[in-house]
Amino acid sequence: MVRLDGRSYVSVKDFSAEETLEVLRTAAALKRERKEGRARRLLADRTLAMIFQKPSLRTRVSFEAGMTQLGGHAIYLGPSDIRLGERETVEDIALTLSRMADLIMARVFGHDLVVDLARHATVPVINGLSDREHPCQILADLQTIHERRGRFEGLKAVFCGDGNNVAHSLLYGGAQLGMGVTVVTPPGYEPAPDIVAEAATMGRATGAAIAVSNDLAAACRGADVLYTDVWASMGQEAEAERRKRDFRPYQVNDAVMALARPDAVVLHCLPAHYGEEIDYATSRRPGSAIFDQAENRLHAQKALMVLLAGALRASGASATAAEAR
């Protein structure tokens, strides 16, 4: 069994391909156990401290419910409770929480904040979202894709929209596991060049084609997965109207679906603005896995927490991962 005890998860590339697969195998096993009514209290008496600079439905509920289902406890620390780097230093917050909690999750604006938390904390730190990456979302996405398609190698995923934190983590995740990823976006909204370059290097080793394009039709042709996200993320409200104009030709709709494979999987990390990045009818097609994807935030993050806390090994339950292979 791959051991992740005591590690932090700030970026998708913090884990090797085999370590990412171990999280996915464990997530599948925990999901099955939950649905069969035989869930185990693997994190009994453990505490998760959740730092939120940004509000969230899925991040808060999935982590908090996950800890409850595993027998542990989650503490919500909102923007007025902890002002990272303002009321006290990130170092002091990390060291204090490390004395009281077993895990720390942070959903922040600046990526440097979660990097600093992980540097100073003596317990595992999980990136619940930053402006550079959204690694927990991609674990759920990968779990969903595998449930629908049964593999990663040879698949083509296309991300339509802003080259944002979700696109960045998807580039890393696809490249790591042999799934091609193309980010198609209006000129000027491409993902960070350094991330694209890193993902392309990773992809050369796994056979995953990594690309960035401004040509929607060419990018989506033959896609196995079509993924989109809101055009204006939190903190970009002032740019919303301009972004609507720029991104309008990149909406995922029937015309785009006709370019993809007939059994293409539709993904959206939510919340959705129907009629903008995706139309409502497309979001409800038989191939849509949007709400499977949302549910899998719960299972993927439970697996992540269990493995970082060393709870499977401590409980002698390493067979959980093996059962999911």
Active site residue ranges = 107, 134, 137, 229, 269, 297
Q: What is the spatial distance between Cα 185 and Cα 187, in angstroms, rounded to a whole number?
A: 6
- 251 by DSSP, 3-state: which? coil
The DSSP H or E segment spanning 75 is strand 73-77
Strand order in the sheet with 73-77: 73-77, 47-52, 103-107, 125-129
Q: What is the spatial distance between Cα 125 and Cα 116, in angstroms, rounded to a whole number?
A: 10
Angle, in degrees to the nearest 10, between helices 135-149 and 165-177 = 50
CB atoms within 10 A of CB 51: 25
Q: What is the spatial distance between Cα 304 and Cα 204, in angstroms, rounded to a whole number?
A: 27
Give DSSP secondary structure letters for 263-313.
TPEEEE-S---BTTTB-HHHHTSTTB-HHHHHHHHHHHHHHHHHHHTTHHH
Q: Are 228 and 252 in contact (CB under 8 A)?
A: yes
Q: What is the spatial distance between Cα 110 and Cα 297, in angstroms, rounded to a whole number?
A: 22
Q: What is the spatial distance between Cα 159 and Cα 120, in angstroms, rounded to a whole number?
A: 34
| CA proximity to 46, closest of 317, 309, 313, 316 | 309
